Amino acid sequence: MPPIPLHHYLIVGAILFALGLIGFLARRNFIIMFLCVEMMLQGVTINLVAFARYRGNLQGQVFTLFILTVAACEAAIALALILILFRRRRSLDVSLWQDLREPGEEATMDEEPLPPARRQPAMPQLTPSGLEPEHRPEESHV
Amino acid sequence: MSYCLLSAAPLSSTEWWPIVLPLIAGGAAIYLMLPRPRAYPVLWGAGLGLLALILAGVLLTRSGVVSPETILFWAFSAIGIASGTLLVTQNNPARAALSFTLVVLSTCGLYLLLAAPFLMAATIIIYAGAIIVTFLFVIMLAQQVGLSDADDRSREPLLATLTGFVLLGTLLFVLQRHDHRVNQSAAEIDQLIERTREVAAMKTPSAMQDGVGEPGGKDDLFRQFEQMYRDKYGWRDLAERVDRVMIAWTVTPIDAKDRGEEQLRARLSELVAIGEDAKHRLNWLPPAGTASLSHFSGAPPTTQAEQIRRDKTTGLPRMPAENAAYVGRSLFTDFLLPVELGGSLLLVATVGAIAIAFRRS
């Protein structure tokens, strides 16, 4: 029974990397851009682990462990930075920070208006802590 | 063997269309599905994406065998790529974070197929368990006032898709090219091995000698093997081994009944074994030098191809069964300094994150 050739794994890694690249370039939400970068890292780790398997050497797996470490650090710092940016502009939109672009570059303008009646995006919310919900003892079964 | 992947040889159509077809379908799917104020119908993008996935599976990762391993590989990669597409095209950040979890989980399935169970567990715990939860917290904390433009618009969808797919096309082209060459060389060696097996199946010693061909002649089996190894690939040691087998073949007495036949068969099976060794070498980069490197993480880069212990049925190098123990040994011998540095990096990142996110009232 022949094994799966190495380059099949490399193809999957390349596809994940390219998808992440597209997302990073096209999307405008800080968090989604960051998730796309993480997906590019996933594509790279598939390559490393596949080479480790087909070379009979554990160094690829160890590299992937280090990538995990660095990704965790990166997530911590990036989320802290995203929080600060959010506090300044009250939005996660990258285009609100386009004052930082190079001189001579044109500003991105949104010409097309968003359609007026759109569905409300289902965003999960944290329940505010500290407020006790109202109790109605006569309905309680406890 | 030349290790240059891109030679001046022109592209043949059988080489480029299996790459271009799924790329066009996939690129169109991503372009249609990227969020924009006046969105295209979802079904168009989804259908094209499915078509691209199936085309890529059939044309790019065709292996001919259907075994549990290949089915799992296809399932994990299809789920991973599909949820990656969802992550890129989803306009709800919370759902995007969840589809990223799915990408991580299917990648972990691929790790398991690649004999890395410790890494699989670590990735699930760290990524799916810790990083994604932090992301979801931030998404919920950063609840936007009213609707924002950011999630429903994309920046330059056409150019971004083109960039990504041109990169992907280049990578796939190089990979396919290399695979094509390795397959061609393997088929050539297989042909000679097949002929050797046919000769070994013959009944009488004289028939076998006829089958091998006239010594020094054009159809001399030994000479064909030797010339291929020496001139085409530059594998001197294999050519010398063939030489030795040839000398043993010529001095084998064929008069003694039965014994001579068996001896000849033994010579031919040596030839087959050398051919199998040569096939393993095709995917193997030449050793980088002769320096003695550490063996703690497995066979070092200077190992010769024939010194690798291989699995009998699959031909892949053997990996230790106790993956976690051996990864630990590698971490604390070869990579001790990087482990320490990684620890300090985590500490610094923690301090930094707290310092950055601290709210001054």
Query: C-alpha distances in angstroms, B286 versus B1, B7, B289, B306, B340?
Result: 10, 19, 9, 11, 33
* pLDDT at B3 > cutoff 50: no
Which of residues A126 and B96 earns the better pLDDT score? B96
- What pLDDT, in 10s, does the model give residues B17-65? 888 999 999 999 999 999 888 888 889 999 999 999 999 988 887 777 7
Task: Give domain status of residue A30, yes or no.
Answer: yes
Q: Token pair 């799924």 is at which residue?
A: B22
What's the rounded Cα separation, in Å, for the pair A104 and A81? 27
Tell me the C-alpha distance between B212 and B196, whole Å.
8
Residue A23 lies in a domain: yes
A108 lies in some domain = no
Token pair 């490393």 is found at: A48
Give the pTM: 0.85
Partners of A41 on chain B (C-beta within 8 Å) are: none
For residue A87, the domain's CATH number is 1.10.287.3510
- Do B279 and B297 touch, CB atoms closer than 8 A? no
Residue-level pLDDT at A43: 96
For chain B, where are the E strands, in sequence order? none
Residue A102 included in any domain? no
Cβ–Cβ of A15/B56 closer than 8 Å? yes
Domain contains A138? no
Q: For chain A, how many structural domains are there in total?
A: 1
pLDDT in tens, B158-178: 999 999 999 999 999 888 888
Cβ-contact B1, B185 below 8 angstroms: yes
ipTM for the assembly: 0.86
Chain B nearest-CA residue for A60:
B297
Which residues of chain A neighbour B110 with C-beta distances below 8 Å?
9, 12, 46, 49
Q: Which of B36, B88, B142 lies nearest to residue A23, judging by beta carbons?
A: B88
* Phi, psi dihedral angles at B282 (to 5 degrees): -60, -35
Query: In A, residues 35-74, which contact B (CB 8 Å cutoff)?
Result: 35-36, 38-39, 42, 45-46, 49-50, 52-59, 61-62, 64-66, 68-74
SS3 B60: coil
Tell me the residue range of the domain where A27 lies.
1-95
pLDDT in tens, B114-173: 999 999 999 999 988 888 888 888 888 776 655 567 788 888 899 999 999 999 999 998
Specify the fold of B13-177.
Four Helix Bundle (Hemerythrin (Met), subunit A) (1.20.120)
